[in-house]
Each structure stands twice: as structure tokens, then as C-alpha cells.
Amino acid sequence: MRRALGVVILVTWATVAMAAPPGTWRYRKPEKKVKVAVIAGSIGAWPSGSFSDFIGGACPAIEVKNLSEVGLGAVDLKLKYKREVIDNRGLRLSDKGVEHWLLASGGLNSIGNAELTIQHTADLFALAHGRGVKVVALSVTPWGGDKDRRWQGLRALETFDKTRRVVDFVLGRLSRAEALGKSGAPAWTAAELPDVGVNLFDAPALRQTDAKTRDVALLRKALGQKKAMATRHADLDAAARRAAEVPRWFLKRELRSFDPIHPNTEGHRAIATIACPSLPKSWQCDCAVIPRLVWKGHIERP
């Protein structure tokens, strides 16, 4: 926050991003005819073997550029991709014989506003498709913990439902009206949806499926005491059971790094393993090699 001439000016990341110059980076391996730009928040920016490193190690046909950055919400991801890829004059996105892909992940930093997260994500996909770039989209991963206020008490239902809405959009399960809460909204265009959607949120390999559930009776009582919640959830018993199951939608403890949101290196290996079978054939992925890949500041094959 800056103060000038008695006026308080709030400088947001998006404001800075819009004023920043376009990217000047280049792909460096002309022999690889499939180019993949990764855009994600802090999960994608994990420095010790991210999912994009493991995917790059398993898919020999691709050259990967990881543009992920800590702290980016959906609008920030869109703006960064526009600046670093779409406005980058050195990237010849229309060159014949070369495939360009966006590998998109993220949304957790803005998940509190599911509608805006979905809209900006749809805009990102349309931006890529408008320049002939195809899109692989990974859903958000399981996340959260008992100490996170967003996942405590009845608020956990709201957090879960917002997360589920963003996940279901990526997987093509929601109409525009359902996703954005706007009755009568037109259908999504093909450009606003990914070519490939990968469901990480529901993956048993990532979820703490054996976590202890919460007290259903206490949650049912609390729901009945909140008029707004009772109005929103017609079946309070079902809502209480869903709220009780929330801990089983958190990231596995053994896959966490410094908090219950960010996967460690083995968590990223698991993400790559889940995503790999859905990746395009042109990437020439050998999914069986992922468990044997070694991170030594870079990925090494056995």
C-alpha cells in the first residue's frame, strides 16, 4: 500500500502484472516439437521436483517451461500467461510442425470466490485457444487441515462446495449457469473449456481417505441452529454427513511439505502419475517410468 498526496493507493499483483513488459524467454530445444508452458501458483512453483518436472521426465517429446509463481490467483494466472506467452513476440505459436500446449493448474489462491475463479480460468483457456494453443487442465489437489479456519465447523461445507465447483468446471461437469450461479447464462464455448481435464481432487492416491470423521450429531445440531444454513441445505442430515467427511478430502499427511496445502516431492510425483495416462499421445509419455525418476536438482532417468 502506498500513500501519495494524501491518497491511499492499493497496488495489487494484477495491477503490476498489467503494467509489466511482455516475456522475452524462448524455448531452447528445436528437436522437441511439442512445447508445454506450465502456469500455476505456489504448488506448481515447488522447487524440489514439481509435477511438471516429473511429467517432463516421463514425456520425451515435450519441452517444458514452468511459469508458475507463488501467490497467484486465477486472474493473476491469466494475466501472467498473457504476458509471458501470448504477448511474447519470440514465441512463434503458429509455426507449422510444432504443437503448443498450456498445462494449467491453480485456483486455490482465489478459491474463496469460486465464480470469479471459474470465469478467469475460462478466460485463460479461451486466451490460449485463441492463439492455437491446446490446454491440459489439472484440477486443484486435496487441501486443507483441521487448524485452517476455512475448514472448521460449518464453514467447512462452504469451503468444500466452492472447491468442488471449481473442480467440476475443469472437468466439464457444469453448465455456465451452474458454475457462475447465473440462471439463463449461455453454454460454455469449446474455447472456454480444456481439451483435457484431470481430476486430482478426488484421487485416492492424494486424499487422506482414512482420516477420522467429525461428529455428525454435533454438526447436525449446528446446522439446525443456523437459519441461513438450514435454508441452503434442504437435507440437514445429508449436509451434516458431508461436513463430517471433510477431513477425508485433505491431502495425505505423508505427501505434505511445510503445510497441509503444498505437496512435497513425492506428492508431486503422485500428481504426475495420476495425470500421465490422460496426457496427449503426441507427448509420448512413458507413465511406467515415473516411480523410478530421481530428483537431483533436475530429473534423472534410471
Q: How many CB atoms lie within 10 A of CB 25?
A: 13
Q: What is the pLDDT of residue 91?
A: 96
Q: 38, 59, 36: which is closest to 50 by C-alpha?
A: 38
pTM above 0.95, yes or no: no
Where are the chain's structural domains?
A: 2-141+160-205+261-300
Residuewise pLDDT in 10s, the chain (302 residues): 344 434 443 345 455 556 689 999 999 999 999 999 999 999 999 999 999 999 999 999 999 999 999 999 999 999 999 999 999 999 999 999 999 999 999 899 999 999 999 999 999 999 999 999 999 999 999 999 999 999 999 999 999 999 999 999 999 999 999 999 998 889 999 999 999 999 999 999 999 999 999 999 999 999 989 888 878 888 999 999 999 999 999 999 999 999 999 999 999 999 999 999 999 999 999 999 999 999 999 999 98
Q: In angstroms, rounded to a whole number, what is the distance separating the alpha carbons of residues 54 and 273?
A: 8
Q: In angstroms, rounded to a whole number, what is the distance separating the alpha carbons of residues 37 and 263?
A: 21
Q: In angstroms, rounded to a whole number, what is the distance separating the alpha carbons of residues 103 and 278?
A: 12
Q: In angstroms, rounded to a whole number, what is the distance separating the alpha carbons of residues 154 and 220?
A: 10
Q: What is the pLDDT of residue 17?
A: 54
Q: Which fold has domain 2-141+160-205+261-300?
A: Rossmann fold (3.40.50)
Contacts of 94 (CB under 8 A, 6+ apart): 131, 132
Q: What is the pLDDT of residue 3?
A: 42
Q: In the chain, which ranges are E strands?
A: 2-4, 7-9, 34-39, 62-66, 99-104, 134-138, 196-198, 294-295, 299-300
Q: In angstroms, rounded to a whole number, what is the distance separating the alpha carbons of residues 129 and 136?
A: 11
Q: 126, 156, 120, 134: which is closest to 248 by C-alpha?
A: 156
Q: What is the pLDDT of residue 152?
A: 95
